[in-house]
Amino acid sequence: MAKKNKLSKKTLYESTYFDVVDIEGQVGMCSKAMTVAVLPYTTDEHGMVAEIGLLSEPNYFRPELLSDTLITGTVEYEDDSLLLAAMRELKEEGGFNVEDHNRWLFLGTLYIYKDSDKMLPVFAVNVTDIKQEEAEGDGSEKEKNAKLNMVDVREGIACDESLVLSAFLRLFNYMYAKTMNYV
């Protein structure tokens, strides 16, 4: 059994969802809430990804004050599973109601950035031939000013959001493996 080192940890800032901490001179984020991410996509007549969903939402840390990213949301107490949380977030933020479990694919977990302990479970969902309704939102100002846009896959993977690119790469890997009969 590996012995864990005792590291010096100092909390610099506390919030509801995360703490900013200094651990042995390295500043980073420790998460307090479980969050899921969703990548909606459509396929063409050959089964290839044609469009991906990018959520355009206010982000004051970006030069344009907007980011085009994945749907993300906190897992609520009422959510019986991560998949149900992802389904709820897709409906709230994207306007798609997709309850058919066969349309969903768990892409695994991703660290959102290197100075964080946050592991983000990521799902892809095939929304081909499903009507997009108006997003319900959760009542927050951020979601009132957000919109899910289905964009051509070439435009989508040209974005600069690493979460989108990582999720798409996982989806592409799955689809490639499927065509090669690896899965």
Please determine, for residue 85, whether its predicted confidence score (pLDDT) is greater than 60: yes
152: pLDDT confidence band, cut at 50, 70 and 90?
very high
Least confident window among 35-44, 131-140, 146-155: 131-140
Q: What integer pLDDT is reported at residue 2 of this predicted model?
A: 54
77: pLDDT confidence band, cut at 50, 70 and 90?
confident
6: pLDDT confidence band, cut at 50, 70 and 90?
confident
- The arithmetic mean of pLDDT across residues 91-102, rounded, is 96
- Better-predicted residue by pLDDT, 142 or 5: 142
Distance CA 93, CA 146 (A): 8
Share of the chain above pLDDT 70, in %: 97
145: pLDDT confidence band, cut at 50, 70 and 90?
confident
Distance CA 138, CA 145 (A): 11
Instruction: Please name which of 59, 57, 101 lies closest in space to residue 82, comparing C-alpha atoms.
Output: 101
Mean pLDDT (the chain) is 92
Q: What integer pLDDT is reported at residue 84 of this predicted model?
A: 95
Q: What integer pLDDT is reported at residue 156 of this predicted model?
A: 95
- Better-predicted residue by pLDDT, 179 or 104: 104
- The arithmetic mean of pLDDT across residues 40-48, rounded, is 95
- The arithmetic mean of pLDDT across residues 148-176, rounded, is 95
Are the CB atoms for 98 and 127 separated by under 8 Å? yes
Tokens found for residue 98: 């997709």
Phi, psi of 115 (to 5 degrees): -100, 45
Q: What integer pLDDT is reported at residue 181 of this predicted model?
A: 82
71: pLDDT confidence band, cut at 50, 70 and 90?
very high
Please determine, for residue 151, whether its predicted confidence score (pLDDT) is greater than 90: yes
Provide the pairing of β-strand 147-152 with 35-43.
Answer: unpaired
